Amino acid sequence: MPGDPEIRPVQGRSELKRFIKLPYRLHKGTPWVPPLIFERKEFLDREKNPYFEHADAEYFMAWRDGEPVGRITAQVDRRWDQYQGGSDGQFGFIDAEDDPAIFEALLGAAEAWVRERGRERLVGPMDFTTNDEVGLLIEGYDRHPYILEPWHPPYYRERIEALGYGKTMDLLMWNLEMGGLKKGDAFADAIHAVADKVESEHGITVRNMRKRDLEAEIGRFMEVYNSAWEKNWGFVPITDEEIAFQAKNLKQILDPRWAFMAEREGEILGAALSLPDINQVTKKMNGRLLPFGWLRFLLGKRKIDRVRVFALGVKPEYQHTGIAARFYVRHIETAADVGVTGGEEGWILEVNEPMNRAMEGMGGTIVKRYRLYEKSL
């Protein structure tokens, strides 16, 4: 019988690298896509990630016979307290071998850490917030994850629920196929009818993001993002510093043809951002850019034929104008222009009836479900 795992905080660069690399062993041969190692190092760097300007976190690893067999983070976010209320801690980055003792030890360490900081509930997984990779995969294990989507094997759900964690919210990913559509094809006549009136009746134009002014454009997008999602469950507005941090990474992958802004008299009223599914390329790079990763990435980008509709929102006071419908139509038009066959939209909260009904109306199907769990401490 294997001995009990030893849980201890990550110490130093060497252990942090092992923390990052653990899923490479656990998920080899699965649909999981290895992240870029240098990007994960920056994200987890307390000196570089502006998340740590308003939050604290600890990284734990489970060890057995000198080898890492599990990992988890525990975090306390003061902005979550401000916008979501309550007295919550969060956990994230959970990965482990299929052993109940490892999961019990990891989650026990996270529970103890947040309890010591006065927290009464543990919520997760989220890496680190709902603006990052979030939720535990509970449906869609056979599908490869798109960009910024986590992937977990089925036993994670069983192990976590066995420790008293219950559902707090499900997040849905919808699949939309556009390969057979041409410009002017309708999702539904009503959507096109509404979209056609956006400019003529409301004086609103929809344009692409301007690549020459990309940093400012991402800032404008985030202004809409913070406004449109303000009342959503689990939402915490992103700070200016976090915008700049994320923009640095987004600039490498963002295609302005898939980034739309709704504008009237210089004011941005809505925005939609779809990201090329670069996981189609990075899954072959094993987390490394050198020696040939950059070349593989640059050559592979041209072959990407799927996108993730990452965010689509309209400021609340303009949601009656049909901007969302115009965004949907622009996606069809762009897909026909660039040869994209389809993709996934989400995540969408299970309780967001308007968006989920819109996905149904466009012929979408739910292909992945992510779950956030909670446990009273």
**How many other CB atoms sit within 10 Å of the CB of residue 228?**
22
What is the structure's pLDDT at 217? 83
Please provide the CATH number assigned to the domain covering 175-369. Answer: 3.40.630.30
Sign of the dihedral defined by the CA atoms of residues 150, 287, 306, 32, in that order:
negative
Angle between helices 37-44 and 12-26 (to 10 degrees): 130
Residue 181: its pLDDT value, please?
Answer: 52
Per-residue pLDDT for 293 more than 70? no
pLDDT band for position 222 (cuts 50, 70, 90): confident
169 pLDDT above the threshold of 90: yes
At 131-157, the pLDDT tens digits run 899 999 999 999 999 999 999 999 999
Please choose, from the candidates 119, 116, 91, the residue with its C-alpha nearest in 3D space to the C-alpha of residue 106.
Answer: 91
**6-171 belongs to CATH 3.40.630.30:** yes
77: enclosing H helix or E strand:
strand 67-77
Compute the average pLDDT of residues 16-21: 96
Joined together, the tokens standing for residue 278 give 């670069």
Of 160-174, 235-249, 362-376, where does mean pLDDT reach its minimum? 235-249
Instruction: Using DSSP, state whether 42 is helix, strand or coil.
Output: helix
What is the reported pLDDT for 89? 97
Domain with CATH 3.40.630.30 in the chain: 6-171, 175-369
Which whole number is the average pLDDT over 35-53?
Answer: 93
> Which pLDDT does position 285 carry in this prediction?
66
Mean pLDDT of the chain: 88
pLDDT at 328: 84
pLDDT for 375 beyond 80: yes
- Can you tell me the mean pLDDT for 90-96? 98
d(CA 54, CA 131): 14
Residue 359: band (very low, low, confident or very high) from pLDDT cuts 50, 70, 90: confident
Q: Does the pLDDT at position 335 exceed 70?
A: yes
Whole-model pTM above 0.85? yes
**32-49 average pLDDT score:** 93
123 or 340, which is more confident? 123
In a 3-state reduction of DSSP, which class is residue 285?
coil
How confident is the model at residue 301, as a pLDDT? Answer: 63
Query: Cα separations (Å) of 298 from 53, 68, 294?
Result: 34, 34, 6
pLDDT of 298 reads 54
Looking at 184-193, 236-245, 337-346, which range is the least confident one? 184-193
Q: How far apart are CA 362 and CA 289, in angstroms?
A: 38
Q: CA–CA separation, 236 vs 77, rounded Å?
A: 10
Separation of alpha carbons 362 and 120, rounded Å: 42
Q: How confident is the model at residue 299 (pLDDT cuts 50, 70, 90)?
A: low
- Top pLDDT among 235 and 110 is at 110
* pLDDT reading at 20 higher than 90: yes
- The b-or-e profile of 280-296 (16+ CB within 10 A means b, else e) is bbbbebebebeeebeee
Look at residue 289 and tell me whether its pLDDT is greater than 70.
Answer: no
**What is the reported pLDDT for 162?**
98
Mean pLDDT, range 310-325, rounded to an integer: 86
Given pLDDT bands bounded at 50, 70 and 90, which one contains residue 250? Answer: confident
pLDDT at 179 (0 to 100): 61
Compute the distance between CA of residue 136 and CA of residue 124 in angstroms, rounded to an integer.
Answer: 8
For residue 349, pLDDT beyond 90: yes
The answer on pLDDT for 351 being more than 90 is: yes
Give the SS3 label for residue 173: strand
